[in-house]
Structure 1
Amino acid sequence: MVEISIRKRPVDEAAVTQRKFFKKTARGKVIKVLRERYLRDDVSCGLHLCKACTIAPNAAIKPSPASEYAGFPNGHYVLPDTNVFLSQMDLFENTLFNPPVILLQTVLEEVRHRSMPLHNRLKALVQAEEKNFWTFYNEFRSETAIVRDEDESPNDRNDRAIRTATAWYAQHLSLSYPPIRGQATPQLPPIVLLTEDAANREKARKGGLKAMSVRQYAEGMPEEAKSTLLDVLAASDAAGDIEQKGAAGKVSLYPEYLPTMTLQAGIKAGELHQGHFNANQYNYLEGTVSVPAFTKPVLLVGRESMNRSVNGDVVVVEVFPESEWKAPADEVVDQEVMVAARKNDDAEDSDEEGAPDSNEAELEKRITQSASSDKQPTGRVVGVIKRNWRAYVCHIDPSSLSSTSATSLSPQTVFATPSSRLLPRIRLRTRHAPSLLSQKILVTIDRWDARSRYPEGHFVRALGKAESKEAEQESLLLEYEVPYRPFGGAVLGCLPVEGDAWVVPPKPATEEAKKASKEWRGREDLREMIICSIDPPNCQDIDDALHARVLENGNIEAGVHIADVSHFVLPDNAMDSEAAARGTTVYLVDKRIDMLPALLGTNLCSLRPFVERLAFSVLWEMTPDTADIVNVRFTKSVIASKSAFTYAEAQLRKDDPNMHDPITVGIRLLNTLAQKLKAKRMAAGALNLASPEVKIHLDSAESSDPIDVEQKEMLETNSLVEEFMLLANISVARKNQETFPATAVLRRHMPPPATNFEKLKDILQKRKGMTVDVSSSGALAASLDRCIDSEEPAFNTLVRIMATRCMLSAEYFCSGSVARDTFGHYGLASPIYTHFTSPIRRYADVLAHRQLSAAIGYTPLHPSLHSKPHVERTLEVVNRRHRLAQMAGRASVEFYVGLALKARGEHKKQAQSTKSQGDSSTIEVREEAFVIRTFRNGFGVFVFKLGIEGLVQYKQDGSYDAENYVLTLPETAGAHKGKKVAIFDKVVVAISVEKDKNTQRGKVKMELAV
C-alpha cells in the first residue's frame, strides 16, 4: 500500500521511507503490512509571510495579535497534540478561543483512530471560516517524517513525531522573518506545543521547545476570556493538581474496573458478558444489560453494581449465581427525591469522603425484596469497553450553591442535573454558577473516579433561560443529538446554480439528443399520466405520488412515483456526506430539521402539482379481482402531478358519488387494490399494531403557540398510501438484493424473543382471562384480534399499543452481513423489505435509489456501494440517527402537549371569570385514562385522547399485590385511600402542568380526579 503526498512530484526527487506493522485479519491470521511513503521537501508550512513555501496568502495563518496573549508580545502559534483534542474539543469550539492552530497530520490521524465523532468535530473546525487552522502533513515532509524505533510504542512514536514537527516549525519560522540589513534581529512568534502529557512537556522543554498544558495556556489569556474558558476545560487527570486535590484521602465508593486483558479473556471464555447499559427510567438505582447468553437482560441493582455506568455505555458484566438472581423493583424511585432527602451540597461532599449514603443503602435493600417471582439474571459491572459520554443538557441545582457563594464569582463546585432522568447528576467547577441559575446549560462528563459518588464534568455553554421556547427547542435537539446547524457553503455549493429557477428542460426532439441530455437520458415521459399525491396537511417535501388506470387487457396498472433525489445528490460530494451524517429529516411539532437543503427538499425534488419533476417510478400490472402482480418494472421518469391532496381531501373525493373525473377514478382504483393488498398481508401474518398519534393545534405560523390537542383521525386514504408504499419498498428490495446480493441496503424487523411478551401474557391472563400466542407473527395477529372487551371498545387498541412496546426495533442492514433467513420483516410478514419511498427525508432511501438505478442499468454503481464495510458503517450511523429522530419527535410532542394543556387551562380560567385568578399551572384538565402499569407507590396511565402517558405517584407505599398487579392506595391518596387500582382499569385523571425538576420545563402532572 502506498501513501501519496499532497502534490505529485517525480519519485526520483523524493526520499522513500517504509512503515511496518502487523495486522490481524477477520479470520485471526496475523499479517505484516508494509507501507511506503514518498517524502517531499515542498509540503507547505502554512505560515504567513513564509518565503520558502508556496502558499496562497489568503490560506496562510497569521500569528496571534500581541493583545490576545500577554505572555507572547510578538504573537504566537499553538500546536496541540492528540490528547488535547481528545479531551478539550469544547475549548477549541468556543468562540472566545481562536489562536492560530497548526494541526499535524499525525494528530489528525490519531484522533480519527481514537474517536470518529471527535474526528468529525475536528474536521468541522478546520473547515470553519471563523477558525484559524492549518493542516500540516508532517508525515510527508522529509524533515519532519520519522520512523518508529523497534522498542518504541506507537504512542511514544507519535509524541516524538509531534515534538519533531514542533522543533522544525521553530527553526522554519526564521524563513518567514528574515533579518534585514541594518536592523535588529526580529523577535519571532514562538510555536507553543500544547500537551496534557507531563512527560511529553518535559521532553519538549529539554529540547528547547515552548510547551504548556492547556490549563497553563488558558490561565495566560485576557481576563474577559479566561474566566469563561477555564470553565470549559475538561476535568482531565493530567490537567493539574486542582482536580486531584484531596483525592488521596477519599474512600473508594465503587469497585475498580478489571484490566482490559482480563475483560477480553473473560468475554472470550464466556465468564463475562458484554452489552449496552440501559438505565431504568422509573428507578435510578436499577439498570439492565442485554447480552446474547441470556434471554432476559442482566439486572443491576444499586450504585455499586452499576459501577459508574452511564446510559448507553458498552459495559462488561459478571453474572451472579442463579441463587442470587432478583426481580426488578416494583417501586418508583426518583433520584431527585433522594437528593432532597439528604443535606445540601456540603453534606454531599462529606458523603463522597466516606461510605455510601445509609438512606440509599437501606432503600437498595428494601426495593430488592420485590414480591414478584419474575426473577432474572442479576450481576454487576466489572469494566467499561466504550463510554457514551457527550454534552448533556442540564441545569444548575440551586441547593448545591452555599449561601455564602450564591453571588460569588470565585470557582466553586456545584451539581448539574441532566434533563434526562436516565443520567446521574454531574459535579463541575465553575466561576459563573450564580449567573447560570435558571438557565439551560450544556455539560460534558470528563471522568468518574471510583472515589466519587457522581461523575465530574465541565461547563460547555449556556443555552438560554429555562422554559423559554428558544432554549427548550435547542435543548431538545441537543438532548437527541440532532444536527441542526445551517448547511455550510460547501453543501450549498452542490445545489444547481439556477437555484429556484431550475426546471426540467424541454424534451429533446431526437433519440440522439435525448441520450445526450443529463435530465432526459433513459427516462420515460409520464407527464400526461393522471398522477396525484396524497399527504398530511401542509406537507411541503412531497416524496411520492401515485396513479392507477385500467389497461386494454382488463388488468390495472398502478404506479408509485418517487422524487429522484439521487439525480441531485451525487456520491462523495459535500451534500452527500452531510446527508449521510444527518441520516434523516427530524420532524418536530413546529419545525422540521431537514436532511437536505430546502431548495431540494421543498422545491426541486418535491413532487409539486402542475410542475414537471424528475422521478423514479415503480409500475405494476395487477389483476383487478385479486390484486395479484402480473409484472413489475422500474424506470426513471419525468412526471407532472395533476393535484396534491390531503388525506381528508382525497377521502372526500373518493366518497363523493357525484365525482367521476379521471383523478377520482384513479383514487378509487388505488383504494380497491389497496384493500386487497392489505387483506393478503394480514392473511400472511402481518401485524396491525397501534401507536398513539395526536394532532397539536398551533395558534399561528408566526407564534407557533399550541392551543389544543386531539387524536389524529386515520382515514381509508391513509391506508391506501401506506399499502402502495409498502409494495414499492418490497419490490425494490427484491430487485436490489437479486442484483447486489452482498451489499443491498435492506430493512428488517427481527421476531421478538418470547420473553418480551411474558409480562403482557401474564397480565392478560390474570386480569382478563385472555391468552396471547407469540409463536409467529400470524399467531400473534390472530391473538390480538381476539383481545376484545365488549364493554370497552378502546381495550383492543390499548392491548395493541402494549404489544408494540414488546417488539424489537426495525433496523437497516447490509444484505451480505447477515444470514439470509434473518432478512424478514416480522411486523409486515414480508421476507424482504427496504426503504425506497422517502429519499428527501431518509438517507437509506437515497442508497436504495442508487442501487436500483444500477440494477436497471441506468447508471453504474458507485464503488462505495460495492464495499460491504462501507455500507455497514453508513447504515450504523443511519440506524442511530433514525432512533434519535424518533425520540426527538416524541419529546417534541410531549413538550407541546404540555403547552397545549396549559393553554387550555388558561382559556378555562378566563372563562371562569367569577373565580380567583390563580396560577394557570393549577388549572386541571380531566380526561379518561387506562392503567397500564402498577407499582408499590403509584401507577402509570395512558390517556387516549391526548396520546400521552403519565404517572400517578404517592409519597407512601400502598398495599401491593404484585402477582395480580393490584395496588390498594395508601393514606396519602386522600379521598381515594383504600381504593384498588389494577392494570386495564379505566380511571379519570386530573391533568395539570408543573415545572419538572429535571427538564426545568413544563411537565404533565396527573392525579386521580376527586
Structure 2
Amino acid sequence: MLRNKAFVKKTKKGGVVSVVKEHYLRDDIYCGAVPCTTCGHSTPVLTAAPASLDTVGPHYLVPDTNVFLHHIDFMEHPGTKDVVIAQTVLDEVRHRNLQIYNRLRTVIANPDRRFYVFSNEHHKATFIEKTDGESINDRNDRAIRVVAQWYSTHLAAHHIAIVLLTDDLGNRTHAEAAGLHAVSVRRYADLFSAVPELVDLVGANGDDDGAVPSKPEAIEYDEYLPPTVLTSGIKAQRFFQGTLSVAAYNALEGSIIANVPGAADNKIYVQGRKALNRAVVGDVVAVELLPRDQWIGAADQVIVENDDDPAVDGDGDVTMTDAAAPAAPAEPAEPNPNALPTGRVVGVIKRNWRPYCGTIDKTSVSMASGTSTQSVFFFPMDRRVPKIKIKTRQAPALVGQRIIVSIDAWDRGSRYPSGHFVKVLGPALDKETETEVILLEHGVPYEPFSQAVLNDLPPEGENWLCSPEELARRRDLRHLPVCSIDPPGCTDIDDALHVRNLPNGNYEVGVHIADVTHFVKPRTAMDTEAAKRGTTVYLVDKRIDMLPGLLGTNLCSLRSNVDRLAFSCLWEMSPAAEIVRVEYTKSIIHSKASFTYEEAQTRIDDDRNQDELTNGIRVLNSLAKQLRQMRLDRGALTLASPEVRFRLEGDAQDPVDVELKELKETNALVEEFMLLANVSVAEKIFATFPNTAMLRCHPTPPPESFLQLNQALEPFGITLDTTSSKTLSASLDAAVVPSNPYFNKLVRILTTRCMMQAVYFCSGTLPRDQFRHYGLATPIYTHFTSPIRRYADVIVHRLLAAAIAHDSFAYGEELTNKDELAKLCDNLNARNRLAQHAARASVELFTHVYFKGKTLVEDAYVTRVLKNGVSALIPKYGVEAAITTDQDVWKFDPTLNALEAMDGSTKLRVFSPVKVSIEVVEISAGSGAQKVVMALVDPKPSKVVAAMEVDKAEAPAPAASSASTSRSRTSQGRQKRQRRA
C-alpha cells in the first residue's frame, strides 16, 4: 500500500518548500514471536516461554524511547530479555543519542537477548498519522501504545502479556485506559522478582511521576539559564563556552579555555561549589565572567581530602565548608596583581557524564539492613568527580568492591549528583581489578578482537609466507646486515636498521619499518578497529594491543632470522652525517639479530667484537651522534621526565624493586634515525598531499608558562630564555649548580611541564608556519616508524606508498578527504592522551603496591610551593606528592614564593633539597582508594618557638596558655576548612 507523506522544510537561504515522500505500508511484517503461527516468519526472535512478571505472568516488554535514553544500563542487563523495539523508538534514539543507539544495536545483535525490532511505521495495522494539534512526542507515544495494543491482540491466544514500559505518567494513564499493562521502570524492577538486581540499575530519574520530592539540602544551586539566553549570550561574549577542566589536587577549582579581552591568561577559573554549579569535569559549560574586583588567583593550597560534608570544628561551631558559604565582611581586599579571570557556570551546554569506577563509602552503609534498599555514597576513583548518591539493595555486599556507577541527575537542591549502580568489577586493591579500573577510567578499549576483525587476518596464520607475486613487487634487501635494537622483552618490533659502505666512501643507511598496511587494508573491520583504538597502550604488567597478536608480535614484527615485509627509508650519507639523497621503497628484509639496548651497548664497548653487525652499530652510533649535535645546534630541546621501571617477580607479577630508567647511547642511536625517518617522510608526503598529509606539530609554549619556573630560578642567578627553542636549549645547558648534580635534570623535568602537547593534524587545516615541531626544532614532522602500535603511522604509510606510486598503489577518499582526516587526528590525539594517562596510572598503581606496608625516608626536592605545603619529587623512585605543612610552624612568603620557618631557621623554595617519609594510605575512610603520602622529615623547625612568639605578641604572661590554646584551636579549624574547601 502506497501513501504520501507531505511536510515542509526550511532551506539554507531561509525559504520554505513542501516535500512529498512516498511511504509504503505492508501487511507482511512479522511479529517475531516463536509461538505465533499466523505470521509465517522463518527466523522468530521472541521466545515462546518468556519470563514471568508477578502481576501479569509471561510477558514481552515494549519500552518507550526515554527508557533507553535514561536506563540503558537496565536494558543492557542480561536479565532483560524478550523486548519489542518499535521502529519509532529506534529512530528517536538514533536522532537523540548516537552513543546509546550504538549500545542498543549491540544488544539487538546478540541473539541471546531476544530484542526484536518491529517496523511499526510500515505496518498497515500499526502506522498512524499525526493529528491536528498533536505534538510529535505525543504522536510517537501514541504509536508505541498502538504497537503494544496490536501485540496484545495478536498474541492473546498464546497467553503472553504485553507490558508497556514507560516513566511518563501521562503515557501510562492513556495505556491503562486502553486496557494495556503499563508500569514505570522502577515498578517493573520491583515486580520482576526473577532478577532482583535490576532494581539497582534503575536510574535516579526512574521513579514514578508524582513522587514526593526529597527535602532540599543545605546548599541550593543557581538555576541554569535557558538555552536561548545562553546561545545569544555566547554570541555577544557575555558568556564564554568551553569544556570544564578540574584541578587534580582540588575538586573545587575548575577552568575553561577562553580568550578574555585584556587578560594575560587564556583561562577562566571557576572556584567553589556554587560557582561550579553542578558542572562535572568534561561538561561543556557556559561561564559568566565575574567583575574584575572579584577575580582571584589560581588555588594555591594543598587540599588534603574530598570529604566536604558540614562538620563541627574544634570550638563546637558549625564549619561552613562551602565556597558559597556567606563570608564575614572584612576590610576591603587590596587588588590582587596576580588575579586571573574568574567566573561562574550559568548553564551546561552538553553533559559529558560517563560510567565511573569507584567504591561504596562504607561509613554510609548500614550493614544490618540486609537486602533492603539503602541510599549510600559512592566515591569515584577520579578525584575530580564529586561523590554520587545511589540507591541499592546490595550495599553490604558492595563494601570493599570496585563498582561502576552512572550519574542520572543533579538537582538544584542536592549537594551531590544522584546515580545508579551498574556492575561489580572485583575486590578493591586487587591488581587485576585495579588494572581493569585504569582501562575503564581512561576509555581504553580492551575487549578481545571481534570475529569480524579476526576474519581479516591471513588464513594461513603463523604459516603465512610472502607470495612470489608480492615479492616481485618489492626490493629484495634480505642480503643486508639488518638488525633491531629494542627494550628487553619487546615482541612488537616496528623498526630495524642497517649500514654498509659505498664505493665513494659514503654510507648507505637504512631504516626499515614493519609494513603493516600490507595486512591492514582500508575500510576493513580490522582497519576500523585499529582507527578506533588509535594506539597500543603499555601498562606496567601488560599491553593492550592496537592490532591482533598474529600481526603485532608475529607477521609484522621484524624478528630476527625470518623474512619480513618492510617499508624502507634509504639514505646516502657522508661520514659527517650529511644527507646526499634519500629513497623510499617497499621491501623484504631478513634481520640478522634482535638486540636489547644493553646488548648493543656491550657490543659497541667491547673492542674484541669486530663482526659485521657490531661494526655497523658502531658506524650508526657515530652518525647518530653527529645527527644529534646538528639537531641541538638547530635548537632541539633535551628534556626529562622522572620515568621509573619496576622489576616484577612471581606469577602475581609483584613489584620487588623500582628504579629510574637508564638511557644508554644505543637508545639515542635508535632515536636519531627514527627522528630522521619521520622528518624525511613528512617532507615527502606533504609535497605530494599538501592538503591531506597527516603531520605532527609541537606548538610554541606561551612565555607566561615559564613565569613561575623563572621566579624559582632567580635565587640561583639563572633565567630561561624562551625567545626560541634554541635560546631555551642554551639556557637549559647553562642551568647548572655544581654542588647539586640532580639540579639540571630537575630543571628539565619542570621545563617539560611548561610545554604544550604535541598533536597530530591534517596539513590542510593549519597555516604552514604552524607546522613546526618546537621541541625537535624541525619545520615539519610526522610519525612513520611505529605502525604496529600507532594508527597515525598506518595512515602515513598509505600516504607514502601513494607518494612513491608503489606498484600503482590505489587509494581513495581515506587519503584525500580533509575533513575526515581532521576528525581522525582529533580521535588519535584523544587516544594518545588517554593512553599516556593510563600508563601513568598503572605506574601509580604499582607504586602503591610496592610501598604498601612500608614507611621509608628518602631524599627529595621541592617542585612547587603552596601556601600550606609543598610538592616534592623523590629522584630515586620518580614519585611526586604533596606535603601539607603545619601553619603554626611555617608561614608563606608570597614575595619569595617560599615557606619560611617561624623560627627563621630555613626556607623552602622550589629546588630545595629535603628529606621526606613516604607511605601509602587510604585516601579517606571508606573510600577504598589509596594514595602516596609524604611528610617532611628534614628540615623540621621547632613548633615551640612559634607558640612562644604568639604568646609574647598576643597576651600577658598569665594568659599565655589560653592565648596559645585559642590560636591552636583556630588554626585547627582553619586547617579543617582548607582540607574540605
TM-score tier after normalising by the smaller chain length: 0.7 to 0.9
TM-score, reference length from structure 1: 0.85
Structure 1 unpaired stretches of 5+: 1-12, 175-184, 509-513, 903-920, 971-975
SS of 1:579's equivalent?
Answer: helix
Q: Which residue identity lines up with residue 283 of structure 2 in the other structure?
A: D
Q: Could you tell me whether the CA contact under 8 Å between 2:259 and 2:266 is conserved in 1?
A: no
Q: Does the Cα contact within 8 Å between 1:64 and 1:76 map onto a contact in 2? A: no
What is the CA–CA distance in structure 2 between the aligned matches of 1:102 and 1:588, rounded to whole Å? Answer: 42
Hey, what does 1:457 align to over in structure 2?
419
Which residue identity lines up with residue 457 of structure 1 in the other structure? G
Q: Name the CA shift for 1:300/1:841 in 2 (closer, same or farther; >3 Å).
A: same
Distance in 2, matches of 1:189 and 1:551, equals: 84
1:117-154 Cα offsets, whole Å, 9 max, x none, are 33332333233454323344555667666777897766
Partner Cα separation in structure 1 for residue 718 and residue 494 of structure 2: 42
Shift of 1:233: 1.1
Residues 621 and 967 of structure 1, relative CA distance in 2, 3 Å threshold: same
| 8 Å CA contact 1:420, 1:999 repeated in 2 | no
In the alignment, structure 1 residue 986 sits paired with structure 2 residue 913: yes
| Structure 2 counterpart of 1:273, one-letter code | F
- Which of 75, 100, 119 is the equivalent residue of 1:118? 100
Distance 1:279 1:229 in 2: 33
Deviations 1:457-484 (A, max 9, x none): 1111122222122222222222212222
Report the equivalent of 1:917: none
Question: In 2, are the aligned partners of 1:296 and 1:376 still within 8 Å (CA)?
Answer: no
The corresponding residue for 1:5 is none
Matched, 1:948 2:889: no
1:283 corresponds to: 250
CA contact (8 A) 1:253 1:356 kept: no
CA distance 1:356–1:968, shift in 2 (3 Å): closer
* Structure 1 counterpart of 2:865, from 928, 934, 937: 934
Tell me, in whole angstroms, the C-alpha distance in 2 between the residues paired with 1:571 and 1:424.
43
Give the superposition deviation at 1:951.
Answer: 1.8
Deviation at 1:68, TM superposition (A): 4.1
Which residue identity lines up with residue 256 of structure 2 in the other structure? Answer: V
Q: Please tell me whether residue 48 in structure 1 is matched to residue 48 in structure 2.
A: no
Q: Tell me which of 175, 190, 214 is aligned to 1:219.
A: 190
| Aligned counterpart in structure 1 of residue 66 of structure 2, from 83, 87, 105 | 83
Is the CA contact 2:33–2:48 (under 8 Å) kept in the aligned structure 1?
A: no
1:160 positional shift: 5.3
Superposed CA offset, 1:906-946 (max 9, x none): xxxxxxxxxxxxxxx2x422221110111222211011111
Q: CA, structure 1 residues 197+834, in 2 after alignment: closer, same or farther (shift >3 Å)?
A: farther
1:235 and 2:204 equivalent? yes
Superimposed CA distance per residue, residues 485-514 of structure 1 (whole angstroms, 9 cap, x where no aligned partner) = 222222222222222222324xx3xxxxx2
Match of 2:391 among 429, 436, 445: 429
Change (3 A) 1:314 1:469: same
Q: What TM-score comes out, normalization by structure 2 length?
A: 0.88
Does the CA contact (< 8 Å) of 1:531 and 1:640 recur in 2?
yes
Matching residue of 1:262: 229
Match of 1:177 in 2: none
Alignment counterpart, residue 677 of structure 1, candidates 607, 627, 631: 627
Q: CA deviation at 1:839?
A: 1.6
Secondary structure of the equivalent of 1:615?
strand
For 2:198, give the aligned amino acid.
L
Give the deviation of 1:305 after TM superposition. 0.7
Question: Is the CA contact (8 Å cut-off) linking 2:273 and 2:323 kept in structure 1?
Answer: no
- After superposition, the Cα gap between the structure-2 partners of 1:1000 and 1:490, relative to the gap in structure 1 and judged at 3 Å, is same
Partner of 2:644: 694
**Contact 1:372–1:963 (8 Å) recurs in 2:** no
Instruction: Indicate the residue corresponding to 1:861 in structure 2.
Output: 811
From 694, 716, 734, the counterpart of 2:665: 716
Distance 1:559 1:874 in 2: 30
Q: What does residue 910 of structure 1 align with?
A: none
Whole-Å Cα distance in 1 between the matches of residues 690 and 328 of structure 2?
Answer: 52
Q: What is residue 134 of structure 1 aligned with on the other side?
A: 116
Rounded to whole Å, the distance in 2 between the matches of 1:29 and 1:668 is 71
Q: CA deviation at 1:431?
A: 1.5
When the two chains are superposed, the root-mean-square deviation of aligned CA atoms in Å is: 3.2
Question: Which residue is equivalent to 1:395?
Answer: 359
Q: Which residue matches 2:779?
A: 831
Greater Cα offset, 937-946 or 744-753: 744-753
8 Å CA contact retained: 1:476, 1:891: yes
In structure 2, do the counterparts of structure 1 residues 71 and 748 end up closer, same or farther at CA, with 3 Å as the change threshold?
Answer: farther
SS at match of 2:776: coil
Deviation string for 1:730-762 (max 9, x for gaps)? 222233333333332222222222222222122
After superposition, the C-alpha distances for 1:608-660 in whole angstroms (9 at most, x for unaligned) are 111112222222223332x3333323222222211111111111122222223
Unaligned runs of 5+ in 2: 939-981
Report what 1:7 is aligned to: none
Q: Give the AA of the match of 2:65.
A: T
Q: In the alignment, which residue of structure 1 is the partner of 2:453?
A: 491
On the 8 A contact 2:169/2:209 being kept in 1, the answer is no
Taking the aligned partners of 1:158 and 1:542, their CA distance within structure 2 comes to: 56
Task: Give the Å deviation of 1:571.
Answer: 2.5
1:212-256 superposed Cα distances (whole Å, 9 cap, x missing partner): 322232222125x22x111111111x63258x5334766761111
Equivalent position SS for 1:336: coil
Contact 2:361 2:379 in 1 (8 A): yes
Instruction: Output the CA distance in 1 between the equivalents of 2:635 and 2:562.
Output: 41
State which of 421, 437, 447 in structure 1 corresponds to 2:409: 447
Q: Which has the higher contact order (CA 8 A, sep 6+)?
A: 2
Task: Show the 5 A alignment for 1:204-215.
Answer: 204-205=175-176, 209-215=180-186
1:386 aligned onto 2:350: yes
Distance 1:20 1:554 in 2: 77
Matching residue within 565, 569, 592 for 2:543:
592
Q: Pick from 502, 507, 510 the counterpart of residue 556 of structure 1.
A: 507
Q: 1:539 aligns with which of 479, 490, 494?
A: 490
1:738 aligns with 2:708: no
Measured after TM superposition, the shift of residue 50 of structure 1 is 5.4
Aligned to 1:908: none
Which of these residues, 881, 893, 908, is aligned with residue 843 of structure 2?
Answer: 893
State whether residues 194 and 214 of structure 1, in contact with CA within 8 Å, keep that contact through their aligned partners in structure 2: yes
Once residues 137 and 563 of structure 1 are traced to their aligned partners in structure 2, the CA distance between those partners, rounded to angstroms, is 48
Q: Provide the secondary structure at the position in 2 that maps to 1:385.
A: strand
Percent sequence identity is 46
**AA matched with 1:771:** T
What CA distance in whole angstroms lies between the structure 1 residues aligned with 2:906 and 2:61?
70
Partner of 1:94: 77
After TM superposition, the structure 1 = structure 2 runs for residues 466-485 of structure 1, keeping only pairs within 5 Å, are 466-485=428-447
Equivalent residue for 2:516, pick from 557, 565, 573: 565
Structure-2 separation of matches of 1:239 and 1:357: 31
Q: Give the 3 Å change call, closer, same or farther, for CA 991–161 of structure 1 in structure 2.
A: same
* Amino acid in structure 1 at the alignment position of 2:107: L
**Any residues of structure 2 matched to 1:554-633 within 5 Å, and which?**
554-625=505-576, 627-633=577-583
1:359 offset after TM fit, Å?
9.1
Q: Is the 8 A contact 1:734 1:832 kept in 2?
A: yes
* Cα deviations by residue, 1:645-681 (Å, 9 ceiling, x for unpaired): 1111111122222223222232223222222222222
For 1:529 and 1:365, the matched residues in 2 are separated by: 81
Residues in 2 aligned to 1:807 and 1:848: alpha-carbon distance in whole angstroms = 26
2:674 maps to a residue whose letter is: M
Q: Which moved more, 1:467-476 or 1:704-713?
A: 467-476
Q: 1:268 offset after TM fit, Å?
A: 0.9
Q: State the distance in 1 between where 2:136 and 2:775 align.
A: 49
Q: Which residue of the partner structure matches residue 379 of structure 2?
A: 417
